[in-house]
Amino acid sequence: MQGFIAAVEARLRASDVTQVATLVFAALVVTLVTVWPGTPRSINESWYAFAQTRGVILALLALGFGASAVRESGHRSVATAVAVALIALLVLPLEIAAYAATYPATPLWWSLVGIAIAPMAYFMLGVGLGTIANRLRLGAMLPLLVPGVLVGFLMLDLRLGWTVFNPLTASLHVSGRYAVAMVVLAAAALAWGSFRWRKGPGEASA
User: How confident is the model over 112-141, as pLDDT tens digits?
Assistant: 889 999 999 999 999 999 999 999 988 888
Mean pLDDT of 76-101: 93
pLDDT given for residue 62 in this prediction: 96
Give the pLDDT band of residue 203 (cuts 50, 70, 90): low
At 59, is the pLDDT very low, low, confident or very high (cuts 50, 70, 90)? very high
pLDDT band at 1 (very low <50, low <70, confident <90, very high): confident
Residue 103 has pLDDT above 50, yes or no: yes
Bridge partners of 47, per DSSP, are none
User: In the prediction, which pLDDT does 206 show?
Assistant: 46
How many C-beta atoms lie closer than 10 Å to residue 34's C-beta?
A: 11
Percentage of the chain surpassing pLDDT 70? 97
Q: What is the mean pLDDT of residues 178-201?
A: 90
Give the CB-side neighbour count of residue 47, counting CA atoms within 13 A: 23
Do 51 and 111 meet the contact criterion of CB atoms below 8 Å apart? yes
Cα first-last separation, the chain: 27
Backbone φ, ψ for residue 204 (5° rounding): -115, 155
Does 41 score more than 80 pLDDT? no
Which pLDDT score, from 0 to 100, does residue 144 have? Answer: 92
For Cα atoms 203, 204, 206, give the angle at the middle one, nearest 5 degrees. Answer: 130
Q: What is the mean pLDDT of the chain?
A: 90
Quote the pLDDT of residue 205. 52
Q: How far apart are CA 138 and CA 126, in angstroms?
A: 14
pLDDT value of position 42: 77
Is residue 179 within a helix (H) or strand (E), and if so which, with residue range?
A: helix 176-199
Of residues 32 and 204, more confidently modeled: 32
d(C-alpha 54, C-alpha 119), whole Å: 11
In angstroms, the CA 51 to CA 112 distance is 11
The residues near 39 (Cβ < 8 Å, ≥ 6 apart) are none
- Cα 164 to the center of its chain, rounded Å: 15
Asked whether the predicted pLDDT for residue 107 surpasses 90, the reply is yes
Distances (CA, A) of 94 to 36, 39, 111, 117, 146: 12, 19, 11, 17, 26
Instruction: Output the CA torsion sign for 165, 194, 134, 69.
Output: positive
156 to 118, 126, 134, 160, 165: CA distances (angstroms): 18, 17, 24, 6, 9
Q: What is the pLDDT of residue 63?
A: 96
Looking at the predicted structure, is the pLDDT value of residue 2 above 80?
Answer: no
pLDDT for res 202: 61
